Amino acid sequence: MIYLSAALAFVLFSSCKNDAKSEVSETAQTEEYQGKEIGSEHDAEIDKLVSQMTLEEKIGMLHGNSMFSTGAVERLGIPELKMADGPLGVREEISRDSWAPAGVTNDFATYYPAGGGLAATWNAEMAHTFGNSLGEELRARDKDMLLSPAINMVRTPLGGRTYEYMSEDPFLNKKIAVPLIVGLQEKDVMACVKHYAANNQETNRDFVDVQIDERTLREIYLPAFEAAVKEAKSYAIMGAYNKFRGEYLCENDYMLNKILRDEWGFKGIVVSDWAAVHSTVKSLKSGLDIEMGTPKPFNEFFLADKLIAAVKAGEIAESEIDLHVKRILRVLFQVKAMGGGERAKGSISTEAHYQDAYKIAAEDIVLLKNDNNALPLKLDGVKSIAVIGNNAMKKNSLGGFGAGVKTKREVTPLEGLKNRLPSSIKINYAEGYVERYDEKNKGKLGDITLNGPVTIDELDPAKVQEAVEAAKKSDVAVIFAGSNRDYETEASDRRDLHLPFGQEELIKKVLAVNPRTIVVFVAGAPFDIGEITQKSPAVVWSWFNGSEGGNALADVILGKVNPSGKLPWTMPKNIMDSPAHATKSFPGGKSVNYAEGLLIGYRWFDTKNIAPLFPFGYGLSYTTFALENGKTDKTSYNSNEIISVFIDVKNTGKVDGKEVVQVYSSKTDSKVARASKELKGFKKVLVKSGGSENVTIQIPVKELAYYDVSAKKWTVEPGKYTLKIGNSSRDIKKEIAITIQ
């Protein structure tokens, strides 16, 4: 990784500090994460290898030869390229020729917080730690490629994979994705960034033809992929299932050849999503390198026997095959799977990795409401706590359709509280609500939310009674509600925002008997929590939060950790307020047209003046902050300069805490349509109680550019801009006017 050293950055960019410096503020000042370019030093060796290979051996490297690896050429010392899912940690070992677990015992891994959680830290260092830690686990499992990160955009709150993706904002998305990829690849493994691109819904994902206008594509849906390629130097990218402008993404010349390779200079390999390939010669010519898939004889894949036949029939030249084989060999050398060289050592399920997962989890929990300092829980005089909800015990490392993690440690919220509370306090647990799926549909591509003979929302009166009794007889009640990874799942989108399993009714009943009730949501995507929020004194939002999720949550509830997570997406009041729904452009049918254009997420809410339940970037703390003396280094810039924004973050409360300063830009007199606000910079800073930190946020002027479709390039429009500094998209404390020459 190349970055300005913390010390140098500190000297260069930090101005007056009037308090003990915090670790976070010093090291996070100007770190720019840059990946390592794929080298060409082995090219002669690679040419020689390819010249010795038969056509069959070459083509064996271009398709799955097991569920998660390509073919080896043992006689020449070329190994299989071994892959593993996925975003939550290294997936359990899958059988070579079916989706069934391999049933081995050495595949236990650390379960890391899901993408939404990681993004909610708003902390690039956490993403880098995440990548490093996972990279070591991948090496311990002897894999070469992690099918991660998943960085599609949260276009609709209902998206089945919202929990796995990061954000509705392209800037936050790339600022988390890049350090993650860099961290991962530092461990001599490849990231495989997915799913390229416009795979923002599960409904009809296998064929839906996505229509996005060019400017929106460039400004919203591609920036994180572009940064993954240009900055993080991701060694691999995964072609998505869906179509884009009429062509499947794994045979999309515009996306794979023109944009990815010609424009962005991608040197790595394009791997298909599993069974996302639909043609032989066309896929290869359009830029796909490896076809992966679901069980069928591997020689029947499009890039297997059919490709051998196509070469023999003269439909494609063998020299074209060589090109792809060379790309694959280059990345194998790059991660030292070939060519000797000491490869990074691995370790898995270690205490150190669990602690990495803890650190991230502790920074991603979002405090949504805290009337009269109901939290952290004050235990004086508390003899008993009611812990209510199926989610208090629910584990999410596995579940639903798609990649999970087989782990030896998943601390549930209930276990977390037991670990952290003094034994003198009695815990009265009641499940309260039960998961009710239509058993017939369970496991059917995630479509388990259909109503069965008993509706999904029906409460069990005995369980409700038990919960109410527990709340009545306890001094305090904590309800763990939300969803889980069976309900939020790959391969199907949710139907609506309602909290399933009758939770809303249950929570109201508990609140009625014990006003000292804290509600904690464990979920990966927005839900309709408006009424519950109104009625509860304190509301906390947690995620599918990894091996140590329960401990982190208990530490937040009890005040050992001061929450500092911020929502990476907007929590709407109604689904119809959300842009894709308001414009009636979700989910579409055979095709879907992103009618809201640039106005995804808060860009829509803020431009149209629609009040969300909680805005993008929002999250409370146990302390209070004042943002003061906001200024820029100059008032006028040219397009190659960097704007330095300075602001004092004062901790005006009684405990130390971390705040995320966010800088949005706006250009009201623009000649092109723009959102009223666009995130352009942010920084998380630890400030001691009573202290103040001077934060510097650097914004390259080029971040203010829009994509000029007719000129086919990014253009910084000259004129006046307003920088809006605040701690959510809706809480702006300071506006600064600047001019771009």
User: So which residues are the catalytic ones?
Assistant: 273
Minimum CB distance to ligand BGC, residue 194 (Å): 5
Cα–Cα distance measured from residue 261 to residue 225, given in angstroms and rounded to the nearest whole number:
12
Residues 345-364 binding ligand BGC (CB under 6 A) are none
| Min CB(402)–ligand BGC separation in Å | 6
Site mask, ligand BGC, residues 550-589, x = CB under 6 A?
Answer: ----------------------------------------
Q: How far is the CB of 149 from ligand BGC (least distance, A)?
A: 10
The phi, psi pair for 70, rounded to 5°, reads: -100, 175
Asked if 90 touches ligand BGC (CB under 6 A), the answer is no
Q: What is the DSSP letter of 682?
A: E
CB-nearer residue toward ligand BGC: 274 or 433: 274
Q: What is the DSSP letter of 75?
A: G
DSSP string for 434-498? -----TTTTTSTT---S--SS-TT---HHHHHHHHHHHHHSSEEEEEEE--TTTSBTTB--S-SP
- For position 403 contacting ligand BGC by CB under 6 A, the verdict is yes
Minimum Å distance from CB 114 to ligand BGC?
Answer: 13
Nearest to 142, CA basis, from 336, 329, 339, 410: 336
Burial (0-12, 13-18, 19+ Cβ within 10 Å), 693: buried
Strand, helix or coil for residue 694? strand
Residues 6+ apart with CB under 8 A from 217: 197, 198
User: Residue 710, Cβ neighbours under 10 Å: how many?
Assistant: 6
Residues ≥6 apart with Cβ < 8 Å to 95: 67, 101, 102
Minimum distance, C-beta of residue 381 to ligand BGC, in the bound complex (Å)? 50
Is 516 a binding residue for ligand BGC by CB under 6 A? The answer is: no
Among 171, 274, 437, 586, binds ligand BGC (CB under 6 A): 274
Q: Helices (H) and strands (E) in the chain — how many of each?
A: 21, 27
Least distance from ligand BGC to the Cβ atom of residue 182, Å = 20
> Nearer Cβ to ligand BGC, position 276 or 385?
276
How many other β-carbons are positioned within 10 Å of the β-carbon of residue 173? 29
**Closest separation in Å from C-beta 277 to ligand BGC:** 13
Taking the least distance from each CB to ligand BGC, the nearer of 194 and 603 is 194
Instruction: State which of positions 185-204 bind ligand BGC (CB under 6 A).
Output: 194
Q: How far is Cα 553 from Cα 411, in angstroms, rounded to an integer?
A: 10
Q: Which is nearer to ligand BGC, 33 or 241 (CB)?
A: 241
Number of residues that bind ligand BGC (CB under 6 A): 7
Shortest separation between residue 195's beta carbon and ligand BGC, angstroms: 6
Q: Tokens at residue 196, please?
A: 């390229």
Beta carbon nearer to ligand BGC, 403 or 448:
403
Which lies closer to ligand BGC via its Cβ, residue 1 or residue 491? 491
d(CA 597, CA 588): 15
Residue 86 binds ligand BGC, judged by CB under 6 A: yes
Q: How far apart are CA 594 and CA 598, in angstroms?
A: 9
Residue with Cβ nearer ligand BGC (447 or 648)? 447
With contact defined as beta carbons under 8 Å apart, do 411 and 551 qualify? yes
> Binding residue for ligand BGC (CB under 6 A) from 136, 137, 209, 273?
273
Q: Which residue is nearest to ligand BGC (CB)?
A: 147
Q: Which is nearer to ligand BGC, 137 or 548 (CB)?
A: 137
Among positions 10, 14, 63, 85, the unique one binding ligand BGC when judged by CB under 6 A: 85
Q: Compute the distance between CA of residue 521 and CA of residue 550 in angstroms, rounded to an integer.
A: 12
Identity of the amino acid at 411? V
Cα–chain center distance at 273: 18
Q: Which is nearer to ligand BGC, 403 or 539 (CB)?
A: 403
Tell which one of 147, 224, 385, 497 touches ligand BGC (CB under 6 A).
147
CA distances for 360 relative to 21, 128, 441, 449, angstroms: 22, 11, 35, 30
Cα–Cα distance for residue pair 43/325, rounded to 1 Å: 12
CA distance 165 to 87: 9
Distance, CA of 185 to CA of 146 (rounded, Å): 10
| Nearer residue to ligand BGC within complex by CB, 188 or 273 | 273
We find the least distance from the C-beta atom of residue 147 to ligand BGC, in angstroms, to be 4
The encoded tokens of residue 143 equal: 């894999």
Q: Mark residues 221-260: x for contact with ligand BGC by CB under 6 A, - for none.
A: ----------------------------------------
Take residue 273 and report the two structure tokens written for it.
Answer: 């999503």
- Is 365 a binding residue for ligand BGC by CB under 6 A? The answer is no
Q: How far apart are CA 20 and CA 4, in angstroms?
A: 22
Minimum CB distance to ligand BGC, residue 655 (Å): 40
Three-state DSSP at 307 gives: helix
Coil, helix or strand at residue 535? helix
Give me the residues paired with residue 592 across strands.
210
State the minimum distance, in angstroms, from the CB of residue 657 to ligand BGC. Answer: 36
| CB closer to ligand BGC out of 127 and 193 | 193
Positions in the binding site for ligand BGC (CB under 6 A): 85-86, 147, 194, 273-274, 403
